[in-house]
Amino acid sequence: MKETVLVTGGAGFIGSHLARELLDHDYRVRILDNLTPQVHPDGTPPAYVPPGAELIVGDVRDRETVARALQGVDLVCHLAAAVGVGQSMYEIERYTSINNLGTAVLLEALAQADVRRVLVASSMSLYGEGLARDGDRLVEPEERPIEQLKAGQWELRTPDGRVLEPVPTPETKRPSLSSIYALGKYDQERMTLIFGRAYGREAVALRFFNVYGPDQALSNPYTGVLAIFGSRFLNDRPPMLFEDGGQRRDFVHVRDVARACRLALESPRAPGQAINVASGESRSVLDVAQALARATGKTHLTPHVVGKYRAGDIRHCFADITLARDLLGFEPRVPFEEGIAELAEWL
């Protein structure tokens, strides 16, 4: 018999891809989404929400709506959240309410429901700076001092000035929470895993890295860098690179993320774990700007290196995906160049 999955935030960028992935694998899908104006300016479900999914429009903080959405549900993917690291510092109440309280309401409702497994979307943002190496010693770098950033020195350094080399970040790295958003994601994953243990439910947290792909909102200024660059290219404007463009991230295609979520619902070894979901490859922001310029035929729009930093930005963070490989059998399938070509086509 088909299992029913509730995807909160299922009308959003990642959620809608997940809904499609689940329908393609013979699950029944119900979406709970408030169609937030941040993502849906005209308040209508976007065209990319798959027609086979049932949509309940409502807020994840509303107990009755959540209880109704959980009826007959076997598995839950909790993706509904306020996104945007910078913005979380200006809207502390809204972010805490949607992300922390929203998860609390959902978990209380789950305590009364017959759901076997719950998956929560967490984020690489809880790591702060990624793991690094100083010679043959691994270090967990501190935030860069403001004086260093003001002086235009972008690289991570030891207190006596040696440059640290970034290395892939595994789940064992200690969290370093420097935004309300990161704190909320950390709370969401801890709450869910604690709930799972206490109530005998299977609980999994997935830490998404920099997700990109078609349907990422171009009009939303808090969206990822590739959507921002894409929208600049569309308007014939060069991408703006903060710092020197040498900051490194792990860009993972949204369909790979959707597949990782499905695997996390199915894998017998996922429960109780917080697992990185990423490509396992690192790329500089300059590299991705150039790749998108080539794919869109906009190479004449030379990236503009602004030489300024964005408050709260980390320098480098990319993932070690050994755990996802081991526990989920996850292997990224969309090569970066292919993903970028598809994004350019979609723009």
Task: Identify which of residues 61 and 304 has a Cβ nearer to ligand UD2 in the complex.
Answer: 304
Query: Could you tell me which of 14, 26, 80, 77 has the C-alpha nearest to residue 52?
Result: 26
Distances (CA, A) of 233 to 98, 228, 326, 338, 347: 33, 9, 39, 18, 9
> What's the min distance (Å) between Cβ of 288 and ligand UD2?
8
Main-chain dihedrals φ then ψ at residue 295, nearest 5 degrees: -70, -30
Task: Identify which of residues 73 and 241 has a Cβ nearer to ligand UD2 in the complex.
Answer: 241
Main-chain dihedrals φ then ψ at residue 240, nearest 5 degrees: -105, 125
CB-CB contact of 272 with 138 (8 Å): no
167: part of which helix (H) or strand (E)?
none
| DSSP assignment string, 270-335 | -TT-EEEES-S--EEHHHHHHHHHHHHT-TTS--EE-----TT--SEE-B--HHIIIII-----S-
> What's the min distance (Å) between Cβ of 181 and ligand UD2?
7
> What's the min distance (Å) between Cβ of 72 and ligand UD2?
32
Cα separation of 60 and 12, whole Å? 14
125: part of which helix (H) or strand (E)?
none
Task: Identify which of residues 91 and 266 has a Cβ nearer to ligand UD2 in the complex.
Answer: 91
Task: Identify which of residues 75 and 317 has a Cβ nearer to ligand UD2 in the complex.
Answer: 317
> What's the min distance (Å) between Cβ of 3 and ligand UD2?
29
Q: Which residues bind ligand UD2 (CB under 6 A)?
A: 83, 85, 123-125, 210, 224-225, 228, 240-242, 247, 249, 285, 310, 313-314
Cα separation of 15 and 215, whole Å? 11
Task: Identify which of residues 249 and 262 has a Cβ nearer to ligand UD2 in the complex.
Answer: 249
> What's the min distance (Å) between Cβ of 134 and ligand UD2?
21
Q: Which residues of 243-279 are buried (b: 16+ CB within 10 A; e: fewer)?
A: bbbebbbbbbbbbbbbbbbbbbbebeebbebbbbbbb
Task: Identify which of residues 263 and 289 has a Cβ nearer to ligand UD2 in the complex.
Answer: 289
Cβ contacts of 312 within 8 Å, gap of 6 or more: 85, 86, 89, 178, 179
- What is the set of active-site residues? 181
> What's the min distance (Å) between Cβ of 182 and ligand UD2?
6
